[in-house]
Amino acid sequence: MKHLEDLSLYLRLENGPTSNLNDYFDNEIPIHLSMLRTFAFHITSEIEDEPCLDDDDPNEYTTSMEMLTNVKHCNQVAHVVDECIDRIKIHRFFSIPFKFNLLQDLSQPMPGLIFHSVTDLHLNTIRIYDRKFFVEINRNFPFVENLTIRNDSYLGRVLTKIDEEWLPIMEYSRLRSLDIYFTCSYCADAFLNERKTSLPRLTQLKISYGDLQTVTNNFTRAVIKRNCSQIKLLYIDKFNRFSNEIYDYLPSILKIVILQ
């Protein structure tokens, strides 16, 4: 491999590096490649059983990101610490610009960065969120096609009317698949409400039946219907009573999958 000129590296590790990447590269990765011109990487180090929330204000989310300038073969590197469900803390290192299509277990927005390559995004956070959180994520990832959101609080922070009016409508012009099964009706409204989000290509939705009933007001709420009009595949959980009105509300539906 001594003649290798371009290298892309995507690693998910347990108890890997949390600060000094140079030591990790020198000791674990044969990076002494004299012909290497470009090096793109995304390395995540998962640390279990670390305390994740500040007791003083457990509901506020903040961005934990620093820029590193001394990593070999790279002009600019970001180090992000994500706080996820199940008391897991993830140290994330990636070269800038980001070169990969998939980004998993992100818990926070990253101001100032745009991830042009990411088409598959998984959000995983223990903190209570509001729509400002999703607007910032939308700015970071404008080309997402598949979005999964997992949140342990099952609660959203309702903004004031002034804050809501100030926020722009989120534009997800390429989003085809949305998984909000492990969230709440607040999250469903933030994405399916046409006054908050535009989803012209959404064809696949995964959501709890209870949240779907709530956000659509038993399949009568007009402001949700437009973003659901192109859905062909719906994943929902078991339910005791199935409303036939769902077919009128989702006119393009071809298949409903019941989750076990």
DSSP per-residue codes, 123-164: EEESS-B-HHHHHHHHHH-TT-SEEEEEESS--BPPPPHHHH
Across all residues in the chain, what is the average pLDDT? 82
- Do 134 and 245 lie in a common domain? yes
Higher per-residue confidence, 97 vs 238:
97
- Do 152 and 92 lie in a common domain? no
Indicate the pLDDT class of residue 66, thresholds 50, 70 and 90: low
| pLDDT reported for residue 55 | 41
- Do 86 and 149 lie in a common domain? no
Q: What SS3 class is residue 37?
A: coil
Domain that holds residue 25: 1-96
- Do 76 and 133 lie in a common domain? no
Between CA 90 and CA 193 the distance in angstroms is 32
Q: Does position 249 have pLDDT exceeding 90, yes or no?
A: yes
Considering the entire predicted model, what is its pTM? Answer: 0.86
Q: Which whole number is the average pLDDT over 112-122?
A: 96
Higher per-residue confidence, 240 vs 225:
225
Split into its structural domains, the chain has a count of: 2
Q: Which whole number is the average pLDDT over 201-226?
A: 94
pLDDT tens-place string over residues 10-51 = 988 887 766 666 666 666 665 666 677 778 889 898 887 655
- Do 58 and 158 lie in a common domain? no
pLDDT tens-place string over residues 126-145 = 776 778 888 999 999 999 99
Between CA 200 and CA 115 the distance in angstroms is 21
Q: Which of 96, 116, 139 is the last residue of a domain?
A: 96
